[in-house]
Structures are given as structure tokens and as C-alpha cells.
Structure 1
């Protein structure tokens, strides 16, 4: 059972990483509720995602963050804290995950947001490809600078009229027009 939950945790980390890096500047970044996302709001959202994923707070997303997140996930499932996950603990975690998914689906339906999400990622291999594109120096880790560069590139692509903000119409057009396709970020330090 340990292997199953560790694999599930790794997939969750991988999905979270890719979606945080390549998620379209969507309504969740809109801090003031005016339905327009400024670059400052988009970057604040990117910084918050990075901080959440940087489990060891070393300023880099790498295997040690995956390990820390997997350990946290394992500890959450291992409710009796005996170092192993029983079938009952595994099933309870699975049911809780299904409930959370149903809650999110219901909220999206309430807000009219039932489109397919992150279709461009193409499963695990696609997420790993996205991670490799963000890793501009090829060190198999993503620094905050690389992460921000990817977020800035996504913002620039979404800001179709280049006015420094993303309107609801730009978000809608972008979802249809492909700005949510993976792209390499601008190189840090102007490179």
C-alpha cells in the first residue's frame, strides 16, 4: 500500500507543479474581484503557488520537495501513525479525494466553468515535458526565477492586446485559441 500512496502523491505533485506553472491566468488570480487580472496579480498568484510547492523552502522545486510532499501525503493517509497504510486508511483517503473532486466539480458547475481543464498537459509525460521546458538551465530543478519567467511568459501570451492586464474576454479567447498550450518561458536575466 505504501507504493500506491507514494505513487499517487508523486502524481499529485507532478500535476500540481505543471498546473501551477502552466495554468492560464484565470479568475483565481483576481485578487480584487474586478474580473481583470493584472500582471501584479498574476505574479502574486505564481509566487503563492511556488511557495506552496517549495515544501522545504529552499527556493527551488526539485526531488527533495517531492520527497517532503510525499512524506506529508503518506502521513495524512496513515491516520493511526504506525508507519504503514492499511486498506481501510487507503480507502478512506480515496473516498475523501472523491468527495473533494465532487465538491470542486459542483463549484465549477455553479460558476459555469465545466470545461476540460489542462487538456494540453497530455498526462504524466506531458507534465514532465512541461517541467523540462520551465527548467531553462537544465539542472532538473526549477528555481523561483525560472518559475516566474514561465508565469510571465504565460501572462504575456494571454494579454492579447498588450495592455498589461487580462480581461475575461482575453481569458475566454485564450482558452479557445491555444494560449494554454505549453510554451518555453523567457530566459531569466534577459537570455
Structure 2
């Protein structure tokens, strides 16, 4: 039971850390530091280092169940803060008007973040990026088992079998996927390569599931 919990925790951390280099909405573009539309190996490495640091809550150099539980507590606290902010009259309940106001505020904030040039309008690329970020979570198919693919990634990354993911294991697993997706071997991933890699993995999962 304890082993299963550790695997599940590490799996969630791996998936949150973006081991996959392509995803719905092309969220991998967060690693594109210079904004040239491609992700170099150096950019991917820097992005992975930053993400590992954020996920390693206790700073022990390992991703473990403890880190996962700390992240869960963080999210719970943030939800509480959002509730308190939306509950403008402080009665401990959200009225329909309060919920609509909070929703409108979130929508305006998303628009402002997407409107990079600040002209009050969204280009096609900005609108697609905004849509991709909103739709990134919960895009599993009905028949897709939660954690199945992630557990495979965890087993591949956890090379010493200690049910924890070190920074070296985390980076090695991610860069292996990077290199596999980099079909022309130029050390960069284009949008087309990222999307092709995602479709290939999705096809493999569907085939195994069938």
C-alpha cells in the first residue's frame, strides 16, 4: 500500500513537472524562453531545473510523497484564499452575484495576461494560447485510466527504484523524451515536432488500452 502511494505521488509530480514535451494547447511553449517558437535543449533543461525546484518543496533534492502532500496543502490554502476574496460580505457563503463577480474577475485577468501587446485585443495566437491554458487540465478521454501513463514515466525515471525522483533522474527522463521528439536531431523542438510527439504517445496509449 505504501509503495502504491509513493508511486502515485511521484507520478503526479512527474506529470506536473512536464516530463512530456508536448501537450494539448502546446503548454510546452513555457520553456521557449526567447520566444522564437522552438524549444532548444538548453531551454528545456533550464525549464526543468526551475520546475524541479518549485516541486521540491522540502528542498531535499528528491520528489517524493512529502512534496506532493505539501503541494496539495498549498493548493488547499490558495483555494481558501480565493474563496475568502470572492466572499465579499464575509458571511462564509458565496451568493450567485459573488460567484459571477469572481468569474468575471478571473476572465479579465486571463485576458490581460494573454494580451501581450496591451492593445485590448487578442491576436489569433494569443487567443489560442489563452484557450490552451484553460483547457490544459482534465483533458483525459473517458477510457483513459488516471495515472497509467504517468506511472510508466515514473518507473522509467526512477532508475534506482527508491520510489523517489532525484533531479538527475527527472532531467534525464525528460531529455530522453526531448531527444525522441527531436526527429531531425537539430537540438530544437518545433511546434510540429511537439504535436507529432504528443499524437504518437496518445496513439501508443490507445493501442495499449485496446
Q: What TM-score comes out, normalization by structure 2 length?
A: 0.59
Is contact 1:154-1:179 (8 Å) kept? no
Is contact 1:60-1:144 (8 Å) kept? yes
CA distance in 1, matches of 2:9, 2:203: 20
CA distance in 1, matches of 2:75, 2:202: 32
Which structure 2 residues correspond to residues 160-171 of structure 1 after superposition, within 5 A?
A: 160-171=183-194
Is 1:22–2:19 an aligned residue pair? yes
Is contact 2:13-2:68 (8 Å) kept? no
Is 1:135–2:158 an aligned residue pair? yes
For residues 78-135 of structure 1, the C-alpha deviation after alignment (integer angstroms, 9 at most, x for no partner) is 559xxxxxx859xx9xxx89x979x59xx69812665877759741344334323211
CA deviation after TM superposition for structure 1 residue 180, in Å: 9.1
Which residue does the alignment assign to 1:61?
Answer: 63
- For structure 1, the residue ranges without an aligned partner over 5 or more in a row are 1-10, 81-86, 183-191
CA distance in 2, matches of 1:135, 1:162: 26
Task: Calculate the aligned-residue CA RMSD, in Å.
Answer: 4.4
CA distance in 2, matches of 1:162, 1:32: 20
Is contact 2:158-2:164 (8 Å) kept? yes
Is 1:123–2:146 an aligned residue pair? yes
Q: What TM-score comes out, normalization by structure 1 length?
A: 0.64
Aligned residues: 165
For residues 17-54 of structure 1, the C-alpha deviation after alignment (integer angstroms, 9 at most, x for no partner) is 31424221521111001111110001111111111110
CA deviation after TM superposition for structure 1 residue 171, in Å: 2.0
Which residue does the alignment assign to 2:3?
Answer: none
CA deviation after TM superposition for structure 1 residue 56, in Å: 0.8
CA distance in 2, matches of 1:181, 1:134: 19
Which structure 2 residues correspond to residues 1-191 of structure 1 after superposition, within 5 A?
A: 15-24=12-21, 26-78=28-80, 88=93, 110-111=127-128, 119=140, 122-178=145-201
Change (3 A) 1:140 1:164: same
Largest Rg, 1 or 2? 2
CA distance in 2, matches of 1:181, 1:109: 31
| Higher normalized contact order (CA 8 Å, seq sep 6+, divided by chain length) | 2
